[in-house]
A and B are shown apart, each in its own frame.
Chain A
């Protein structure tokens, strides 16, 4: 037919590939929920302490951080929060890319960019928490 037609967004013209027999999507879906539950405490707690408890952001400075990370409790809190939030956020971003990137190529490269930068941030953050030296400077 030569008549023009309106294209539907990424309609499955060629038929979709059938299942790859993996539970990846299932686990990733579950992970979003479980990590979300844990993050409620970690992130909301973090925000509460940092932003609202006596003086909020005004009292934060190097010394404050140094004091906090002297305690293994806060160290593990922040570490867990970092990992979970980043994995959760990255996985969420992956979904969003899957939704909106129209071409397979675009989708692939966007995801690569996402994974690389996420890995970088996670490693950097971990490094900072572990190797933090309060006596620097």
Chain B
């Protein structure tokens, strides 16, 4: 139904061509499979297509049983974290042109959370850890009638960690979390950081109590996988380091 444009009016430059790309997807259908297995799908894609588009195409045109979560489609809702070519990424923020298409592109569920179906994992433990760090403002004193004042510098202090979309790319890239699911994980620490360094917050002691736990910040071995994986470009390891230092220098 698209308007037909005459051949001659289209300049030769930048006419993108669709090429065949193969995806090697780790499938697991709980209703039929006892074990996950790899399956290949080849579809035609433009270089600027997102991996999410590819998955949509496979689901829509080839195999409707392929299951994954997605919503916003542009890296803002955190639904579609998955392992693409061995690394945690958002499918909607990964463009085909940025991947090596001479080999099959591998797609599998993120690691460390229970796989429910294909790319869908049980997110509950992830959110449970988030909830445990008291991720909300704990204000001091009585409510002012207008807004609480905060200088632009104080606001900037925790800006980085406010960007988190809870996609779990970081936590499920963490080698410690893979083997010790009890570890709070980087995302929860990022959430705690956002409040610890908010000048309006007075919940420092309570929150640090949680993070000082056996499974808290001390579990982090600075492997930087989280920082590398974060689609929002949050300096996750740095945030964890700042929380560690806050713990040491205010309590020791």
Using CB atoms and an 8 Å cutoff, list the residues of chain A in contact with chain B.
1, 3-13, 15-16, 18-21, 23-26, 28-30, 98-100
Contact = CB atoms under 8 A, between A and B. Distances in A.
B218 interface: yes
Contact of A8 (B114, B132, B209, B252): B114
Contacts of A20: 213-214
A10 B181 contact: yes
11 contacts: A3-B31, A4-B30, A5-B30, A5-B114, A9-B178, A10-B181, A11-B181, A18-B132, A19-B212, A24-B214, A98-B180
Contact of A3 (B30, B112, B129): B30
A16 B247 CA distance: 21
A99 B221 CA distance: 11
Interface in B14-70: 28, 30-31, 33-34, 36
A20 to B, nearest CB: 7
A37 to B, nearest CB: 15
A25 B28 contact: no
Interface residue range, chain B: 35 or more
Contacts of B210: 18-19
Contacts of B33: 4
A106 B114 CA distance: 23
Nearest to A1: B30
A99 B176 CA distance: 7
A25 B214 contact: yes
Contacts of A3: 30-31
A100 B179 contact: yes
Nearest to A6: B115
Given A19-B210, A19-B213, A8 B179 contact: no
Nearest to B32: A3
A93 to B, nearest CB: 14
Contacts of B99: none
B248 to A, nearest CB: 7
B113 interface: yes
Contact of A23 (B31, B125, B212): B212
A83 B25 CA distance: 51
B116 interface: yes
B150 interface: no
Contacts of A1: 30
B182 interface: yes
B215 interface: yes
Given A18-B132, A26-B252, 13 more contacts: A3-B31, A6-B28, A8-B115, A9-B112, A9-B181, A11-B113, A11-B122, A12-B182, A18-B210, A20-B213, A25-B216, A25-B218, A26-B251
A24 B213 CA distance: 9
A98 to B, nearest CB: 7
B180 A10 contact: yes
A95 B77 CA distance: 35
A19 B209 contact: yes
B128 interface: yes
Most interface-central of B213, B247, B251 (chain A CB within 10 A): B213
Contacts of B244: 29
Nearest to B116: A5
A131 to B, nearest CB: 37
A23 B218 CA distance: 11
B59 to A, nearest CB: 21
